[in-house]
Amino acid sequence: MTLLEIARMTEEQAREYLEGLRWPDGPVCPHCQSTDVTRMNGEAHRPGCIQCNNSECRQQFTVTVKSVMESSKVSLVKWVLAFHLICSSKKGFSALQLQRELGLGSYRTAWFMMHRIRHALAEGELTEPTMQGAVEADESYFGGKPRHNNKHTDAPAKRGRGTKKTPVVVLVERNGKARTKPVKRVNAKTLHAEVLSTVRKNAVLITDEWPGYLGLGRHFDGGHETVNHSEKEYARFHPESGLPIHSNTAESFFSLMKRGYMGIYHTMGKQHLHRYCAEYDFRWNHRKVSDHERMEAAIRQAPGKRLLYETPQEKDCS
Ligand SMILES: [Zn+2]
């Protein structure tokens, strides 16, 4: 399905489309999970209203209930369009452009839609480590104006309301998934916790020579290999597996996120940074599928998540 085909949908078709993605086997009550439900047609009911017949529940719902689209006044067609735009733009998509292209009433509406969608894209905490093979770890800084070349000694950069830049750690499997997370500081305690909660024992960990990673090698079968950024290194290989030792994958991830940060978003508010991370993780982790499949994967993640702003403040829109 192309952007044009979505734009041509009626509101009813968009609803059917969203229902099909959420409930491939027919509607399920989001309050009690009952499948004994009745569609409430007619003028007396809001469009898409479904009644739960479970005698202990008896609640009414629509396809947006208990999803990031809940209680939104924006049409469902525009929601599907927004999911498509965010999922198909490599570097990111600005709220201003979303407002213009969808004809949304205000920048604030567009901004909150973007953040609700990012919330849907988030994969959540891991219950056990999942990454294996060659796993690269690295850090970068977001949130303020970039001023320092040495990321590890990055001093607080003042910007606007005196916010500081926030370190973001990425762990990325070569040829696999990426997970980023904003952290308070890049000390050994934080980095060890991030690596050990994400990377499986059978992996080889590859980082630069930052001391915060020291001591992690004993946790991994493949050990810990380091790359020296200050000296030009050529084609170094793991002594046993022959694996090339570099951190190019982590660097590619951050260069994509930096390009979005510098060229599209210009700022990523500290309190919202984890959702920007989710956006870049999601696109990276679904990079091998089509734009359409990526959008559908995103929409399927929308239920079960809510992000409602009761009293949005302009100052939060960054
Ligand atoms: Zn129910």
pLDDT tens, 281-293?
999 999 999 999 9
Alpha-carbon gap, residue 249 to 245, rounded angstroms: 11
Span 1-13, average pLDDT:
95
**β-pair type (204-208, 224-227):** parallel
156 pLDDT higher than 80: no
Q: How far is CA 252 from CA 37, 44, 249, 280, 299, in A?
A: 48, 54, 5, 12, 26
Q: Is the pLDDT of residue 12 over 80?
A: yes
The alpha carbon of 32 and the centre of ligand 1 are apart by a number of angstroms equal to 4
Q: How confident is the model at residue 154 (pLDDT cuts 50, 70, 90)?
A: very low
Residue 82 maps to a domain: no
* CA 37 / ligand 1 centre spacing (Å): 8
> Residue range 4-28: average pLDDT?
97
Domain span at residue 178 reads 134-272
Query: What are the tens digits of pLDDT across the range 236-270?
Result: 888 788 899 999 999 999 999 999 998 898 888 88
Q: Is residue 1 assigned to a domain?
A: no
The answer to the question of residue 220 being in a domain is yes
The verdict on residue 35 lying in a domain is no
Q: Is 116 part of any domain? A: no
| CB 216, CB 197: distance < 8 Å | no
CA of 48 from ligand 1 middle (Å) equals: 16
Residues 186-212 pLDDT 10s? 999 999 999 999 999 999 999 999 999
54 neighbors 34 (Cβ within 8 angstroms): yes
pLDDT of residue 270: 85
CATH code of the domain containing 172:
3.30.420
Question: Is 236 inside a domain boundary?
Answer: yes
In a domain, 264, yes or no: yes
Looking at residue 282, its amino acid is F
Cα 278 to averaged position of ligand 1 atoms, centre (Å): 31
Average pLDDT, the chain: 89
Q: Which of 32-36, 84-88, 150-154, 259-263 has the lowest mean pLDDT?
A: 150-154
Interval between CA 118 and ligand 1 midpoint (Å): 28
Measured in Å, residue 34 CA sits from the centre of ligand 1 at 5
How confident is the model at residue 143, as a pLDDT?
80
For 104-151, write each residue's pLDDT tens digit: 999 999 999 999 999 999 998 899 999 999 999 999 999 865 454 445
Per the structure block, which two tokens stand in for 215?
């001591």
Q: Which residue has the tokens 């409930």?
A: 23
Reported confidence tier of residue 316, pLDDT bands at 50, 70, 90: low
Query: Which of 42-46, 170-174, 179-183, 309-313 has the lowest average pLDDT?
Result: 309-313
Q: What is the pLDDT of residue 203?
A: 96
CA of 14 to the centre of ligand 1 (A): 23
Ligand 1: centre distance to CA 56 (Å): 8
In a domain, 176, yes or no: yes
How many domains is the chain built from? 1
Which pLDDT score, from 0 to 100, does residue 228 have? 84
Instruction: Give the distance (Å) from ligand 1 centre to CA of residue 63.
Output: 13
| Residue 170 confidence (pLDDT) above 50 | yes
Q: What is the per-residue pLDDT for 308?
A: 59
Cα 30 to averaged position of ligand 1 atoms, centre (Å): 7
Q: Place 312 in a pLDDT band, splitting at 50, 70 and 90.
A: very low
Dump pLDDT digits (tens) for 55-74. 999 999 999 999 999 989 99
How far does the centroid of ligand 1 lie from the alpha carbon of residue 53, in Å? Answer: 7
Using the mean position of ligand 1's atoms as its centre, give its distance from the Cα of residue 35 in Å.
Answer: 8
Distance 29 CA to ligand 1 centre (A): 5
Cα 275 to Cα 280: distance, rounded to the nearest angstrom: 9
pLDDT score, position 161: 34
Which has the closest alpha carbon to 207: 268, 136, 125?
Answer: 136
pLDDT score recorded for residue 164: 72
**d(C-alpha 237, C-alpha 240), whole Å:** 9
Q: How far does residue 28's CA lie from ligand 1's centre (Å)?
A: 8
